[in-house]
Amino acid sequence: MKAVVYNKKGLPDKLIYCDVEKPRPNDNEVLIKIHAVSANAADYRSMRMGIIPKKRIFGADIAGRVESVGKNIRQFKPGDEVIGDLSDCGFGGFAEYAVAPEKALIPKPTKVLFEIAAALPIAGITALQALRDKGNIQKGQKVLIVGSGGGVGTFAVQLAKYFGAEVAAVCSSKNVAQTSSLGADYVIDYTKEDFTKNKRCYDLIIAINGNHPLFAYKRILNPNGIYVMVGGALLQIFRSILFGWLMSFGSKKMCSLAAKSNQKDLEFIVKLVEDDKIKPIIDRRYSLDKVADCMKYLGEGHARGKVVINVE
Per-residue confidence band for 247, with pLDDT thresholds at 50, 70 and 90: low
Tell how far CA 234 is from the center of its chain: 17
pLDDT at 282: 97
Q: Dump pLDDT digits (tens) for 6-32.
A: 998 877 789 999 999 999 999 999 999
Per-residue confidence band for 83, with pLDDT thresholds at 50, 70 and 90: very high
Q: Dump pLDDT digits (tens) for 183-206.
A: 999 999 999 999 999 889 999 999
pLDDT at 244: 59
Q: What is the pTM of this model?
A: 0.94
pLDDT at 249: 64
pLDDT at 35: 98
Q: CA 110 → CA 75, 82, 141, 270, 296, distances in Å? A: 17, 10, 35, 11, 32
pLDDT at 241: 64
Q: Is 156 a residue whose pLDDT tops 80? A: yes
Q: Is 232 a residue whose pLDDT tops 70? A: no
3-state secondary structure the chain: CEEEEECCCCCCCCEEEEECCCCCCCCCEEEEEEEEEEECHHHHHHHHHCCCCCCCCCCCEEEEEEEEECCCCCCCCCCCEEEEECCCCCCCCCECEEEEEHHHEEECCCCCCHHHHHCCHHHHHHHHHHHHHHCCCCCCCEEEEECCCEHHHHHHHHHHHHCCCEEEEEECHHHHHHHHHCCCCEEEECCCCCHHHCCCCEEEEEECCCCCCHHHHHHCEEEEEEEEECCCCHHHHHHHHHHCCHHHCCCCEEEECCCCCCHHHHHHHHHHHHCCCCCCCEEEEEEHHHHHHHHHHHHCCCCCEEEEEECC
Q: Is 173 a residue whose pLDDT tops 90? A: yes
pLDDT at 293: 95
Other C-beta atoms within 10 Å of 273: how many?
21
> Which CATH number is correct for 122-256, 3.40.50.720, 3.40.30.10, 3.60.15.10, 3.20.20.140?
3.40.50.720
Q: Is 102 a residue whose pLDDT tops 90? A: yes
Stretch 220-233: mean pLDDT: 88
pLDDT at 269: 98
Among the ranges given (115-124, 239-248, 275-284), the one the predictor scored with the smallest mean pLDDT: 239-248
Q: What residue spans define the domains of the chain?
A: 2-120+280-310, 122-256
Q: Dump pLDDT digits (tens) for 28-78.
A: 999 999 999 999 988 988 888 889 999 999 999 999 999 999 999 999 999
pLDDT at 302: 83
Output b/e per residue, 142-156; b: 16+ Cβ within 10 A.
bbbbbbbbbbbbbbb
**The domain defined by 2-120+280-310 carries CATH number 3.90.180.10:** yes
pLDDT at 211: 76
pLDDT at 240: 64
Q: What does the mean pLDDT of the chain come to?
A: 93
Distance CA 300, CA 119 (A): 19
